[in-house]
A = this chain, B = another copy of it.
Amino acid sequence: MVKYRKSISSAVIRRLPRYYRYLSTLLDMGISKISSKDLGNRMGITSSQVRQDFSCFGGYGLQGYGYDVEFLHQEIANILGLNTVRHMIIIGAGSLGTALAKHKEFEKKGFKVIAIFDVKSEIIGQKITEHEIRHLDTLPQFLENNHVDIAILTVPENFGREVAAYITSLGIKAIWNFVPIELKTPSDVIVENIHLIDSLMVLGYNYKNNNNK
């Protein structure tokens, strides 16, 4: 595995999953090499963007040959850490938490749900896939016995801050936040937001302006 320059810009990092998806498709199609131009065309970006991005982590194409698809695919997997299984817990077993628990794609990429927590007594003990819903009060004990990398936060909006403070106080260092608020967390905690309503509002705006509606 190639050693990379310490920091790859966050803009490049955000593009890596997309490259990874495209390269996976190419591999599935039995395509073993591709030019920056072809790859850029498929992805709707310029070939110079592709070359610049890949040069950040030592993926140099050969003139007249292009990139080795399998090599790049593997390198991006290494950078993203997809060869390591990450243990996730879901906090908030409502419909969104349930949908994420059932989502099969995550585990295929190494992100494995290992437990689900909630506070509603009437659903504690019910099963979502193979997991019994546990009471959030049992999280400290669970963390003593299990390694957890990522907490998925799908609690109601008014509990977001409180629950985030609670889980980070217990040592959680990465939160995938679906609550439509900005969380204030210690600086060593990584938060990645999926703000559904923000995305929908942007779509509504672009739709309105594109169609004069």
Select the stretch in A61-69, A100-108, A135-143 that faces chain B. A100-108
Give chain B residues whose Cβ lies under 8 Å from the Cβ of A120: none
Query: Separation in Å of the A111 CB from the closest CB of chain B?
Result: 6
Are B18's CB and A182's CB within 8 A?
Answer: yes
Any chain B CB within 8 A of the CB of A197?
Answer: yes
Query: Which range holds the interface residue count of chain A?
Result: 35 or more
Are A182's CB and B13's CB within 8 A?
Answer: no
Select the stretch in A32-40, A46-54, A78-86, A162-170 that faces chain B. A78-86
In angstroms, Cα B80 to Cα A207, docked, is 10
Query: Separation in Å of the A197 CB from the closest CB of chain B?
Result: 6
Q: How many copies does the complex hold?
A: 2
Give chain B residues whose Cβ lies under 8 Å from the Cβ of A188: 210-211
Give chain B residues whose Cβ lies under 8 Å from the Cβ of A5: none
Are B194's CB and A199's CB within 8 A?
Answer: yes
Footprint of B on A, CB under 8 Å? 13-14, 16-18, 20-21, 43-44, 79-82, 84, 86, 94-96, 98-100, 102-103, 105-106, 109-111, 149-150, 157, 173-174, 176, 180-182, 188, 190, 192, 194-208, 210-211, 213
Q: List 16 A-B contacts (CB under 8 A).
A: A17-B195, A17-B197, A21-B180, A21-B181, A79-B205, A80-B201, A80-B205, A82-B204, A86-B204, A149-B207, A174-B204, A174-B207, A176-B200, A190-B210, A192-B202, A194-B194
